[in-house]
Amino acid sequence: MPLSPVLPTFADVEAAASRLAGTVHRTPMLTSGTLDRDTGVHFFFKCENLQRAGAFKFRGACHALARLTERQRRAGVVAFSSGNHAQAVALAAQLAGLHAVVVMPGDAPPAKLAATRGYGAEVVLYDRYADDREQIASELARDKGYTLIPPFDHPDVIAGQGTAALELLQDAGPLDAIFTPLGGGGLLSGTALAARALMPQCRVYGVEPEAGDDGRRSFRSGALVRIDAPRTIADGAQTQQLGRYTFPIILQNVTDIVLASDDELVACMRFFAERMKLVVEPTGCLGLAAARRMRHELAGARVGVIISGGNIDLCSLAALQRHKDASWA
């Protein structure tokens, strides 16, 4: 592996957009007059909760598969994930007509196992406490010739994720700031590439759960920080560190990394459901939660927010609302 990886650029995001046209949904951009009046900020929401398979991850997965060689396509792909990346790779592979194996924990929610199998993937189960999923996936890759599709740290995945912000910037017009959830940084680095190229003055913020601020510490210190898997309801952002590709792009192109609490996420879920009729998973609420916290310094600004996903079942959504004080504080 090279010491300094060749980083994707905005040209790669644009190329991804043309490869993905017709396969990914151009998701709607929505606004809320009530929220704008309450906060004094003009918000533009990119609704990736309405993307195919329920999250922006479908963009990166489709793009990575579109870039495979004929030989790689014939052999098939492997991914490890208990979350949205699993379903994204499964659906993308089904549409592209290739075989996908997804390595998932045996205690993953039955609905997620069923969804992944429903998209035609072969699911290989592992024991979360005894097995190393990365090792299982790399052994499968080696023994069967599968190509590993990583969830965030890959140039084609980053370029694919950047197409969501590209569409938002095209649809919203000039923006002063854009807020994006942050896990391993695929979505944020793609967003930053698009924003830097199309709107150089636009501030770009990544948002992490308070319980897992490795990205913020890495960003502020300039050295990659690794943490234990954080305890948060934002399960799409329970990553332990940024990647070899995502970290340098974030360092160069992002304004700051800010935080949101689980209680703020619950309040945002309620707002999205009741006022905007949107089902948004906790991780998908990170952007609004942080922008709302910063509303005084954002007064009068035009602010883009990426709603990254909507995969939560109704019982869990209701339980979160019951167990937390779900009002805006």
**Minimum CB–partner distance for residue 103 and ligand PLP (Å):** 16
- Going by DSSP bridges, is the β-strand pair 122-126/203-209 parallel, antiparallel, or unpaired? unpaired
Catalytic choice (14, 46, 48, 57): 57
Q: Which residue is nearest to ligand PLP (CB)?
A: 309
Active site residue 81: no
- Residue pair 184/230 in contact by the 8 Å Cβ criterion: no
Binding of ligand PLP at residue 187 (CB under 6 A)?
yes
Phi then psi for residue 49, to 5 deg, are -65, -20
- The 146-185 site mask, x for binding ligand PLP (CB under 6 A), equals -----xx--------x-------------------xxxxx
- The 107-146 site mask, x for binding ligand PLP (CB under 6 A), equals ----------------------------------------
Binding of ligand PLP at residue 260 (CB under 6 A)?
no
Binding of ligand PLP at residue 209 (CB under 6 A)?
no
By CB under 6 A, how many residues form the interface with ligand PLP? 23
What is the rounded CA–CA span in Å between residue 274 and residue 266? Answer: 12
Nearer to ligand PLP, 146 or 152 (CB): 152
What is the rounded CA–CA span in Å between residue 189 and residue 254? Answer: 8
Listed in sequence order, the DSSP H helices in the chain are 10-20, 33-39, 57-66, 70-75, 84-96, 110-118, 133-144, 155-172, 186-198, 214-221, 246-253, 262-276, 286-293, 314-323
What is the rounded CA–CA span in Å between residue 112 and residue 96? Answer: 21
What residues act catalytically? 57, 82, 208, 212, 214, 308
Binding stretches for ligand PLP (CB under 6 A): 55, 57, 83-84, 151-152, 161, 181-188, 236-237, 239, 281, 283-284, 308-309
